[in-house]
């Protein structure tokens, strides 16, 4: 198995975990990590080619993976797909609600359809997946759900539709954690900061050449995160190490959500040796996945 996880190799042996958006970026990386830890991984997304290719990579690495193509915004399709997954694989132990995305635009340039497309991708879709997994497996057998949100604290300028949806997803996480605790189901969230994922490449040249360098200057850790740094926290939350953790949100952002925009740390505030130190240090010290 080529994915070098920080966790014990048989952590999820005999378990089935669903990763939405598992064909690319953070979801693909997480699918690799869960498979390397023994899980039977179910990949969900719309683009069959990407799902097929991630499945093939995992199988080539000696892991178990299947995929189901579905748009998480379509209620009946989500219900039928979860039913198929349960029929094919039995109990669902974990759900990673990672699928989502948005387009950069100021509020005044967002049409109703644009708003709805983003809110349904990042809020309604996650709710539908969680409700169906709960109704069709977890309410009988327990499980763990991890919702991926974003750094939307104090607003998300230029991505206001996404910020509103992610804030909603955090509230959903907290409500579900309370309502579903007595079923043995834990529900937590992970809020990534700026992660150098394949998804980040989808916003065009202006974003890559101007917005990303500007954002990088506001990150106390002086670098963007890597996909595996999100995946390891998802893995922790799915695992028994987090058995008393529910309704929590872990920010995985190199400190960026704490850096005040007014008088906060900027790139030019750092001493040259501090910059070099921060760039050199990455806790796990290995780049486990190639970005795709």
Ligand X SMILES: NC(=O)C1=CN([C@@H]2O[C@H](COP(=O)(O)OP(=O)(O)OC[C@H]3O[C@@H](n4cnc5c(N)ncnc54)[C@H](OP(=O)(O)O)[C@@H]3O)[C@@H](O)[C@H]2O)C=CC1
Ligand Y SMILES: CCC/C=C/C(=O)SCCNC(=O)CCNC(=O)[C@H](O)C(C)(C)COP(=O)([O-])OP(=O)([O-])OC[C@H]1O[C@@H](n2cnc3c(N)ncnc32)[C@H](O)[C@@H]1OP(=O)([O-])[O-]
Where on the chain is the footprint of ligand X (CB under 6 A)? 20-21, 23-27, 45-47, 50, 71-73, 98-101, 121, 125, 148, 150, 192, 194-195, 197-200, 202
Q: Are 230 and 192 in contact (CB under 8 A)?
A: yes
Choose which of 111, 182, 214, 260 interacts with ligand Y (CB under 6 A). 111
Q: CA–CA separation, 193 vs 172, rounded Å? A: 20
Phi, psi (rounded to 5 degrees) for 290? -85, 135
61 binds, among ligand Y, ligand X, none (CB under 5 to 8 A by kind): none
135 binds, among ligand Y, ligand X, none (CB under 5 to 8 A by kind): none
Phi, psi (rounded to 5 degrees) for 249? -130, 125
To ligand Y, the closest distance from the beta carbon of 107 in angstroms equals 11
124 binds, among ligand Y, ligand X, none (CB under 5 to 8 A by kind): none
Strands across the sheet with 16-20, in order?
64-69, 40-45, 16-20, 94-97, 143-148, 185-192, 249-252
168 binds, among ligand Y, ligand X, none (CB under 5 to 8 A by kind): none
Contacts of 134 (CB under 8 A, 6+ apart): 145, 176, 180, 183, 185
Q: Are 193 and 26 in contact (CB under 8 A)?
A: no
Q: How many residues bind ligand Y (CB under 6 A)?
A: 15
The C-alpha angle with vertex 150 and arms to 26 and 171, in degrees rounded to 5, equals: 120
Pairing status of strand 143-148 against strand 185-192: parallel
Nearer to ligand X, 9 or 258 (CB): 258
Cα–Cα distances in Å, from 280 out to 222, 232, 252, 286?
A: 10, 20, 18, 11
Choose which of 52, 86, 101, 217 interacts with ligand Y (CB under 6 A). 101
Choose which of 41, 42, 78, 118 interacts with ligand Y (CB under 6 A). 118
Nearer to ligand Y, 63 or 160 (CB): 160
Q: According to CB under 6 A, which residues from 182 to 201 bind ligand Y?
A: 197, 199-200
Q: Are 72 and 43 in contact (CB under 8 A)?
A: no
Choose which of 1, 61, 114, 236 interacts with ligand Y (CB under 6 A). 114
To ligand Y, the closest distance from the beta carbon of 57 in angstroms equals 20
The C-alpha angle with vertex 168 and arms to 201 and 20, in degrees rounded to 5, equals: 50
Nearer to ligand X, 103 or 183 (CB): 103
Instruction: Give yes or no for residue 202 binding ligand Y (CB under 6 A).
Output: yes
103 binds, among ligand X, ligand Y, none (CB under 5 to 8 A by kind): ligand Y
Packing angle, helices 125-133 and 75-89, rounded to 10 = 40
Nearer to ligand X, 27 or 63 (CB): 27
Task: Report the C-alpha dihedral over residues 4, 192, 54, 90, rounded to 10 degrees.
Answer: 90
Instruction: Give yes or no for residue 95 binding ligand Y (CB under 6 A).
Output: no
To ligand X, the closest distance from the beta carbon of 169 in angstroms equals 9
Q: According to CB under 6 A, which residues from 139 to 158 bind ligand Y?
A: 150
To ligand X, the closest distance from the beta carbon of 72 in angstroms equals 4
Which residues of the shown chain bind ligand Y in the complex (CB under 6 A)?
101-103, 105, 111, 113-114, 117-118, 121, 150, 197, 199-200, 202
């Amino acid at each position: 198995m080529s994915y070098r996880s920080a966790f014990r190799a048989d952590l999820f042996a005999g378990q089935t975990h669903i990763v939405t958006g598992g064909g690319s970026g953070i979801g693909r990386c997480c699918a690799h990590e869960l498979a390397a830890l023994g899980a039977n991984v179910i990949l969900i997304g719309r683009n069959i080619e990407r799902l097929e290719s991630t499945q093939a990579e995992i199988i080539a690495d000696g892991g178990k993976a299947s995929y189901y193509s579905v748009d998480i915004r379509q209620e009946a399709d989500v219900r039928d797909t979860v039913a198929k997954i349960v029929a094919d694989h039995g109990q669902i132990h974990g759900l990673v609600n990672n699928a989502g995305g948005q387009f950069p635009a100021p509020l005044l340039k967002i049409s109703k359809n644009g708003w709805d497309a983003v809110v349904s991708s990042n809020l309604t879709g996650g709710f539908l997946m969680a409700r169906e997994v709960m109704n069709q497996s977890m309410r009988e057998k327990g499980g763990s759900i991890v919702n991926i949100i974003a750094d939307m604290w104090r607003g998300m300028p230029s991505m206001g539709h996404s910020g509103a949806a992610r804030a909603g997803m955090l509230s959903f996480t907290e409500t579900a954690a309370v309502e579903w605790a007595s079923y043995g189901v834990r529900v937590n969230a992970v809020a990534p900061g700026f992660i150098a994922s394949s998804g980040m490449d989808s916003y065009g040249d202006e974003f890559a050449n101007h917005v990303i360098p500007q954002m990088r200057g506001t990150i106390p850790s002086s670098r963007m995160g890597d996909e595996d740094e999100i995946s390891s926290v998802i893995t922790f939350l799915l695992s028994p190490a987090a058995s008393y953790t529910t309704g929590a949100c872990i920010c995985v952002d190199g400190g960026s959500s704490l850096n005040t925009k007014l008088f906060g740390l900027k790139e030019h505030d750092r001493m040259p040796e501090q910059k070099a130190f921060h760039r050199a240090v990455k806790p796990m010290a290995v780049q486990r996945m190639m970005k795709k």
